[in-house]
Structure 1
Amino acid sequence: MAAKTKAQDIIDNNAVAVFSKSWCPYCKASKALLSEMGAKAYIIELDQVDDGAAIQDALQEITNQRSVPNIFIDKKHIGGNSDLQAKRSELKSLLQSAHAI
């Protein structure tokens, strides 16, 4: 339950939240795109925090997605890297409306 609360707090209190793993190439691609867009993203590397597995379980409950990256913009679930890349054309306006750039 604590992990679910922590995950929800991260989603609620950050314009852009990325649940990632440091070694994941899809996570790296998503973080690179957000960085390229100038997004101020809160990134948590689930493989580098003690409760990472529990947070990943909680995200599955919240979003029905277990894989990383698990991306939220303005508290809305975007999905993973392929979902983010597919939104490339509208990403700047999404980030602006979330006050993330």
Structure 2
Amino acid sequence: MKYKVNSNSHILEYSGAILPVRARSYRDLVDEVAELSSKVKSPERKLDEKEEKLNSIREELYVNFKSRYEEVSKRYEELSNAYKELGYRYSY
């Protein structure tokens, strides 16, 4: 977070706008900046965690889909072969 401090009144300016932060001392202002920075970073961390969880769920779904698809394909092939065999049996 880039900021400029007006040392006379201890007002925090961010991107040309005055943020609603007023402090009695410079130290209080620095503490307020640290708190605001942590509030900004906290949602980013939570978003990253949720994105990782979403990716793991997608991976799990893909693995489950792939295994079920392979199982269905195998059973379809068995069924197809059984119909072919049945057809050959009755064609004689």
Report the TM range for the smaller structure's normalisation: under 0.3
Under a length normalisation based on structure 1, what TM-score does the superposition of the two structures give?
0.22
For the pair shown, which has the larger CA radius of gyration, 1 or 2? 2
TM-score (norm 2): 0.23
More helix as a share of residues: 2
Compare relative contact order (CA 8 Å, sep 6+) and give the higher one, 1 or 2.
1
